[in-house]
Amino acid sequence: MPRLISPSLLAADFANLQHEIEMINGSQADFLHLDIMDGVFVPNLSFGIPVVKAARRISRKPLDVHLMIVEPDRYIAAFRDAGADWLTVHMEACRHLHRTVQEIRERGMKAGVSLNPHTPVSTLEEIIPFIDLVLIMSVNPGFGGQQFIETSYEKIRKTRELIRKTGSAALIEVDGGVDLHNAERLFEAGVDILVAGTTVFSAPDPVGMIESLKSR
């Protein structure tokens, strides 16, 4: 399985955003992860479409956009136009998830579905054949720097088994509390993509940290 890294821009220095994105361009990172928070679905505000547009102008990595917002269907076209390559919505936020996923893919993006820590893997059974990515939240979404939830390993293994059983081509991404101490175990559990924010951007050598995470 691939060992892919998607550094989360949420942890970057926003006073030097161009420099931070150019640093990611020169690294072994595979994506640039952008967390969109509305202060309603999660108890925090981050950034929106203008920052995605700005990142698209600078980034040479695919934009991995994670919508932590209510009514994500209203903004699918806007995020496509802003430059999203992958667009992930939350299981918990979508009333008609198949329709949402279908629109994401029809607009030329890869479609992801994210599960909060309390949401069981079984809820993916009907949607897994139609998506490109499952994002497992290993912290309660809203803030960076939280402690990893240990039960996430078993949740990842269950997701990998569901993908195997259904023949889905979906990748597994994990976000929250990812660092050098758990990266290897996460890959062994079945993760394809690690989202790392604080671990990358707070490191003395972020480029070296990305290389270290990939080689765990």
Q: Are 60 and 26 within 8 A, CB to CB?
A: no
How does pLDDT run across 179-197, given as a tens digit for each residue?
999 999 999 999 999 999 9
Under the banding of pLDDT at 50, 70 and 90, the label for residue 141 is: confident
Give 100-156 as a DSSP string.
Answer: HHHHHHHTT-EEEEEE-TTS-GGGGTTTGGG-SEEEEESS-TT-SSPPP-TTHHHHH
Paired with 69 in beta bridges are none
State which residues form the domain around 133: 4-214
**Cα separation, 67 vs 70, whole angstroms:** 9
* pTM confidence score: 0.96
How does pLDDT run across 69-115, given as a tens digit for each residue?
999 999 999 999 999 999 999 999 999 999 999 999 999 999 999 99
- What CATH number does residue 83 fall under? 3.20.20.70
Assigned token pair, 98: 């198949």
Q: Cite the active site residues.
A: 35, 175
How does pLDDT run across 159-183, given as a tens digit for each residue?
999 999 999 999 999 999 999 999 9
Count of domains observed in the chain: 1
Burial of 164 (0-12, 13-18, 19+ CB in 10 A): exposed
